[in-house]
Every structure is written in C-alpha cells, then in structure tokens.
Amino acid sequence: MKPGTDILVVSIDGIRPAFDAMVAGKLNCTVECTPLLGAPAYKALRRHLAGEKLPKWIKSEDQTFTADVAKDVIATRKY
C-alpha cells in the first residue's frame, strides 16, 4: 500500500514539511493548529486592561488544507 494514495494520511500541524509532503503525494491533508497566537492574545490582553469587555471565546484562525491546494498555498505559509 502507498501512503497518500491507498491509505489516507492526515497530519495535525499545518507546518511547511506537511505541505511539502502533500505536494510530493505522501500526505492527503493537514489540519492547522496555528502557533501564531501571540499577537491576537496580546491584543486581547491590551483590550482587557483598557477596560473593554471581551467575548468569552476569541476564535483562532485555524484551517484545513488538502493536497489539491497545497501547491497553491505553500508559499504563503509562515511556519
């Protein structure tokens, strides 16, 4: 059996090597769990300290990428 063809292979990271693997046909999908939370967290903290009422949940911008789009978005990846 060939990974990525006969076996569905999914990663949960969204990092550059996952995109390289999708382009190479070794991975079908990656689910991003973004590490780029520093700036939004800092912004929320500043808003809170300024007395602003924040929502109970501030959604992070995670995405799911499939192999058919990997080649088109790989250059935009920040990690």
Cβ neighbors of 79 (< 8 A, separation 6 or more) are: 14, 15, 16, 35, 36
**Is there a domain that residue 2 lies in?**
no
Q: Would 21 be classed as within a structural domain? A: yes
Model confidence at 5: pLDDT above 90: no
Full domain range(s) for residue 20: 10-76
pLDDT tens-place string over residues 9-44: 999 988 999 999 999 988 999 998 888 888 899 999
How far is it, in rounded angstroms, from Cα 24 to Cα 70?
Answer: 10
Q: Is residue 1 part of a domain?
A: no
pTM above 0.85, yes or no: no
Is 14 within a domain?
yes
Number of domains in the chain: 1
